[in-house]
Structure formats: structure tokens, C-alpha cells
Amino acid sequence: MAEVNAQMVKSLRERTGAGMMDCKKALDETGGNEEQAIEVIQKKGLAKAAKRAGAIATEGVIHAYIHPGSRLGVLVEINCQTDFVARNDDFKAFVELVGLQIASMSPQHVRREDVPEAALAHQRDLFRAQIDEEDVQKGKKRPAEAAAKIVDGKLAKWLTEACLVDQPSVQSDEGKTVGQLSDELSAKIGEKIAVRRFVRFELGEGLEKKKVDLAADVAQALAGS
């Protein structure tokens, strides 16, 4: 068991951003093992972040991400509790990540609580219809309980894809979700961090593009000449 000294505390503080006393306690608790101390700080930090979940975050930024080629754009509002944190480099990096995530993965909602009941009901009906069609193709109907579990599984997967905070981050090698990264940042910074809303624009989305028959146009032009 290594004796905790000032250099060890300094090193841990630089790696975690935690306070000196928290670093000292974590090192004491782990016998001077820095890697284990980091885990202790992360766990305690995430617990504090959970307590901050009810806090009001009214500062932050509205970030615009425009994909190269200007055919895709995102506007997203991400909140924190102070304008000081809004200028923090880690916060700015998270904001950039979220903009890229929305552009890349096309979420429909921020979190599960935002999904309307009508949308959930529609998806359930759709998944039930898929199962019924599969049963018809196989010529064998599954028990109602089994079918219900399959619908629940499909719905859970759909929610993971549709909700931003449940999506695995496109920039995380560890498969962490956007929500997990937000919680970790909140624990590190010491303030509530929350994605409030976003809108994603794709050029021509929702418009019926006019189909042009070039051969017919040429033929018509020649006939009129």
C-alpha cells in the first residue's frame, strides 16, 4: 500500500478534474492506486450528477452544425447551469459531438419521455403486424405471451435508435451512449448538463422531387422546331 503524497493527488486531480480533498480520499481508499481511485471518483461523481438531475439548467448554447456540402444541418440547444461552464472546453467538445451525432444518426426525440403515446402505440401496432405477417408466412401462430415479448423487444430497440440520449455515441470507442457521456461530463464539471431540443434539416426532405424525362423533353423540342 503506497503512502499518498502531494504529487499523487496532483496527478489524479489533473486526470479527473476533481477537488484535492476528493482526490486524497479516493487515493486513501484505494491504497494509492490511481486507476482504482479514478473509478471511485467517477462513481461518486455520477451519484452527484444523479442528485443534480432535478436542478434547473438555463444557461448553455445553441449550436449549429452544417455538414460539408451544405445539404445537411442541425440546430441543438444544450443547457448547463452557468455561463462559465458554457465556455468550458469539455462542454464545447460535448456540444460538437451532439451536433455530429444528430446529423449522423437522425434521432427523432431527445429522450424516451419525449416520445408521444401515439407514436409508441403506432410502433407497437406496426411490430404486431410484422409478427402476424411472419406467422402467416410460416403457417404457425406464436403464443400471445411470446409475441408480446417480441413486440416489447422491438420497441426497446426502436427507442434506442429514436432517442438521442440512448444512442451509442458515434465518437465513443467504448460504446457509451450520449446520455452516459452527458452524465460523465456533469460529474466532472459539477453542473447539470442537458440536451433540451434539436432540429435536423436535410435538403429537399419532405418535398416531392420533380422527375425529368430528358429524352421526352428533347423529342418535344425537336418536334416543335
Query: Which cell numbers hold the place of 21?
Result: 480533498
- pLDDT, mean over the chain: 86
Give residue-wise pLDDT tens across range 62-105.
999 999 999 999 999 999 988 888 999 999 999 999 999 999 99
Neighbours of 145 (CB within 10 A): 8
Q: Please, what's the b/e burial string for 183-206 (b: 16 or more CB within 10 A of its CB; e: otherwise)? A: bbbbbbbbbbbbbeebebeeeeee
User: Could you give the 3-state DSSP secondary structure of residue 111?
Assistant: coil
What distance in Å separates the CA atoms of residue 65 and residue 7, rounded to the nearest whole number? 41
Label residue 67 exposed, middle or buried (CB < 10 Å: 0-12, 13-18, 19+).
middle
pLDDT at 23: 84
Q: For residue 12, count other CB atoms closer than 10 A to its CB.
A: 25
The rounded distance, in Å, linking the Cα atoms of 54 and 17 is 23
**Structural domains of the chain, ranges and CATH numbers in brackets:** 6-53 (1.10.8.10), 57-202 (3.30.479.20)
What per-residue confidence (pLDDT) applies to 217? 62
Rg (CA), the chain: 25
Q: What percent of the chain has pLDDT over 90?
A: 48
